[in-house]
Every structure is written in C-alpha cells, then in structure tokens.
Amino acid sequence: MKNVEIFWTPFALSRLDEIFDFISDKAQSIIPASKQIIRIIERTDQLIHFPESGQKELLLQEIGQDSRYLVEGNYKIIYEFYKNQNLIIVTDIFHTKQNPKKLLKNS
C-alpha cells in the first residue's frame, strides 16, 4: 500500500489552537503547550504507514461515521481513513476528561 496523506480539517486545527491556549494559560508558559501540540501532531505520523492502527470510535459509529482514534496523553485524535484515496482526515482533537457526548455535537 502506498503511504497515505494526512489532512487536518480547519476544525481540528482550531482545537489544537484551543489546547495550546489552555495549556499556555494554565502553565503561564508556551513551552509545555508547544510540547503537547508537537506530541499530538507527531502521534499521527504512524498513520502514514498504518492508517487503520487507531481503534474505531464507537460513539461516532452510532451516528454512521466510520471514525478511528489515537490517544496522546489525555487527548483523542479523531480521524477518518479513506482507503481508495490513501487519505487520512483528522477531524477533531478531544480531551478524554470531557463528556463524550460533546464529541457527538462536534460531528
């Protein structure tokens, strides 16, 4: 299989911005915020060679979405894999301590 391309939706990118702002405000430093964002982004690198390595997101299956997720720290990286196009679309970054029903509202 050819390596897949990873695309981040504007919504997923805005979630990264929110995470960065939250962590940098809480820590009063951009250093831990930058490190967390880098870890989240680098976590998706495995999808280039193993696009189906994430577990299926059961909550989103209930509404007909075939999403998967990876976990990095306290964050779920929600993505969809389009096999025919060799494409991964990262759709959301979700803090695991949030109410899971919020994930349905964002989809």
Q: State how far the Cα of 82 lies from the Cα of 28, in Å rounded to an integer.
A: 39
**pLDDT at residue 65, as a whole number:** 72
Low-confidence residues in the chain, pLDDT < 70: 1, 60-64, 98-107
DSSP 54-88: SEE-HHHHTTT--EEEEEETTEEEEEEEEGGGTEE
Structural domains for the chain: 5-106 (3.30.2310.20)
**pLDDT at residue 3, as a whole number:** 79
Q: State how far the Cα of 36 lies from the Cα of 66, in Å rounded to an integer.
A: 27
**pLDDT at residue 13, as a whole number:** 97
Q: pTM of the predicted model, to two decimals? A: 0.84
Q: State how far the Cα of 82 lies from the Cα of 88, in Å rounded to an integer.
A: 6
26-41 confidence digits (pLDDT tens): 999 999 999 999 999 9
**pLDDT at residue 106, as a whole number:** 55
